[in-house]
């Protein structure tokens, strides 16, 4: 059985955009602003703290770099990097935030860290927990208009804001970019990722924002939570009777993205489709859904494209 319901199709320019939907789902998110002496160290901390976090299927969290933040937009006037970390449950999200701050940001030269969600309905005192690393020598202070902990480290001091906001967010926005060959599909995917990178509040958790090994829920042969999405594997067209791969398509990439709101996911969907469609050799753009098995949030491609 196909993992997608039959749909009418909308053709835009020479590229077919299927009138279907991505099946997204709610998760909880934390948003952290890392600052450092220079962009190199802010980015180093951000990349390290968001490692091994592509998909909650097997990773301990989902996380990604949202954007670099210029010095005039950070509390301490230093270069910054905004990251997001996601989990299904509040206890596990708090654990992942603490673990990644403690192991990847506290340890990174010159960094400080601030709350990235203002006016949140729920907060967690990550700073109060991390401050125990100071072994009693830490102190609560006020800096840059914020309540912060100053934790002594061998370099000097690590500064962390006391409270961090948490919010309900959306995970699992996705697109399938289908090309005549691997080169075209990859170029379109890269262009789509670049376009999405300009949207505030959106992160892409897979390597470089692109997943070459899209999965389906469950397995027809093994006892696994997820296996290769054989409906969209070009090597299997003509092999499996329910293949969803057009005859002229020989390479497909999946883009998966999370956002702080549903509207952000829709905007990411729209800009990525428009960017991918411009690349010669792209045949079709679609999305993955599982008929409601995965999540209740339906991101319709056609509706997203019509957003202003």
Same domain membership, residue 56 and residue 18: no
Q: Closest Cα partner for 280 from 210, 188, 191, 190?
A: 188
Q: For position 12, what pLDDT does the model report?
A: 39
* 159 lies in the same domain as 181: no
pLDDT tens by residue, 73-115: 999 999 999 999 999 999 999 999 999 999 999 999 999 999 9
Q: What is the mean pLDDT of residues 170-192?
A: 97
Last residue of a domain, one of 133, 166, 199: 166
E-strand ranges in the chain read: 9-12, 15-18, 21-35, 62-69, 80-87, 112-115, 122-124, 139-143, 146-153, 156-161, 164-179, 202-204, 210-211, 215-217, 226-228, 251-259, 282-286, 297-300
Last residue of a domain, one of 117, 138, 166: 166
- Which residue range forms the structural domain that includes residue 93? 28-166
| 291 has pLDDT over 70 | yes
pTM of the model: 0.92
Could you report the per-residue pLDDT of 212-224, keeping only the tens digit for each? 999 988 898 999 9
Residues 144 and 193 in one domain: no
Cβ-proximal residues to 107 (8 Å cutoff; 6+ apart), any chain = none
Residue 294: pLDDT band (50, 70, 90) is confident
Count of structural domains, the chain: 2
Q: How far apart are CA 208 and CA 199, in angstroms?
A: 16
Residue 2 lies in a domain: no
Mean residue pLDDT of the chain comes to 94
Residues 206 and 116 in one domain: no
Same domain, 190 and 229: yes
Which CATH number belongs to the domain containing residue 260 in this structure?
3.30.70.520
Assigned domain for 4 exists: no
Identify whether residues 44 and 161 lie together within a single domain: yes
| Weakest mean pLDDT among 10-14, 84-88, 165-169 | 10-14
Residue 223 within a domain: yes
Residues 192 and 147 in one domain: no
């Amino acid at each position: 059985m196909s993992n997608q319901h039959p749909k009418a199709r909308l053709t835009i320019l020479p590229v077919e955009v299927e009138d279907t939907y991505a099946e997204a789902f709610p998760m909880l998110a934390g948003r952290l602003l890392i600052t450092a002496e220079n962009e190199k160290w802010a980015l180093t901390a951000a990349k390290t703290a968001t490692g091994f976090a592509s998909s909650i299927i097997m990773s301990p969290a989902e996380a990604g770099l949202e954007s670099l933040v210029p010095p005039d937009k950070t509390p301490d006037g230093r270069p910054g990097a905004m990251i997001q970390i996601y989990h299904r449950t509040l206890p596990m999200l708090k654990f992942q935030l603490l673990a990644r701050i403690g192991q990847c940001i506290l340890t990174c030269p010159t960094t400080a860290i601030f709350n990235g969600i203002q006016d949140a309905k729920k907060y967690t005192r990550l700073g109060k927990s991390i401050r125990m690393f100071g072994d009693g020598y830490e102190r609560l202070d006020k800096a840059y208009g914020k309540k912060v902990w100053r934790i002594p480290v061998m370099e000097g001091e690590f500064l962390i804001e006391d409270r961090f906001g948490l919010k309900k967010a959306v995970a699992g926005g996705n697109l399938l970019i289908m090309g005549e060959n691997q080169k075209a599909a990859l170029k379109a995917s890269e262009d789509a990722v670049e376009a999405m990178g300009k949207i505030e509040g959106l992160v892409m958790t897979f390597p470089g924002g692109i997943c070459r090994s899209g999965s389906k829920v469950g397995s027809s042969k093994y006892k696994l939570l997820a296996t290769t999405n054989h409906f969209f594997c070009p090597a299997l067209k003509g092999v499996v009777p329910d293949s969803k791969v057009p005859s002229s398509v020989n390479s497909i990439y999946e883009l998966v993205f999370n956002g702080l709101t549903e509207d952000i996911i829709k905007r990411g969907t729209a800009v990525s489709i428009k960017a991918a469609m411009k690349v010669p050799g792209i045949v079709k753009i679609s999305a993955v859904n599982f008929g409601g098995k995965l999540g209740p949030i339906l991101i319709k491609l056609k509706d997203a494209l019509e957003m202003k």
